[in-house]
């Protein structure tokens, strides 16, 4: 069952690039950190371009055994001029 979480992007890190890109992000949601992981190469490269502590992300996915939310869909909630230039992940 998919869950949706909305929070401030506070940290992003690349775990591995080959053969499959794995990127970890942390969202701050109501004074609680939500650990997330992204397997999609396109979403990973997009998130790594975003500045930290600026954008609220709405992510949807499933929890894995390590208590990480595996992200399937992502939206940016506070779109500004930078996002209008770069585009949104869809």
Please give the full DSSP string across 7-21, using - where no structure is assigned. Answer: EEEEEEEEEE-SSS-
User: What are the distances in angstroms from CA 75 to CA 13, 15, 16, 69?
Assistant: 19, 22, 23, 15
| pLDDT on residue 90 | 65
Would you put residue 33 in left (φ > 0), alpha (ψ -120 to 50) or beta? beta
pLDDT bucket at 89, cuts 50 / 70 / 90: confident
Calculate mean pLDDT across residues 50-66: 95
CATH class of 3-86: mainly beta
User: What are the distances in angstroms from CA 85 to CA 29, 57, 88?
Assistant: 27, 17, 9
The average confidence (pLDDT) of the chain is 93
pLDDT tens-digit profile of 72-85? 999 999 999 988 88
Q: Which helix (H) or strand (E) holds 46?
A: helix 41-49
Calculate mean pLDDT across residues 6-28: 95
Q: Where are the domains of the chain?
A: 3-86
pLDDT bucket at 86, cuts 50 / 70 / 90: confident
| pLDDT on residue 87 | 84
């Amino acid at each position: 069952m998919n869950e949706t979480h909305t929070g401030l992007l506070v940290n992003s890190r690349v775990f591995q690039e080959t053969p499959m890109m794995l990127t970890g992000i942390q969202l701050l949601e109501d004074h609680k950190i939500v650990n997330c992981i992204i397997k999609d190469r396109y979403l990973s490269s997009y998130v790594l371009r975003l500045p930290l502590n600026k954008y609220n992300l709405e992510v949807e996915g499933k929890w894995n055994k390590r208590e990480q939310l595996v992200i399937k869909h992502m939206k940016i909630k506070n779109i500004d001029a930078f996002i209008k230039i770069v585009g949104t992940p869809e």
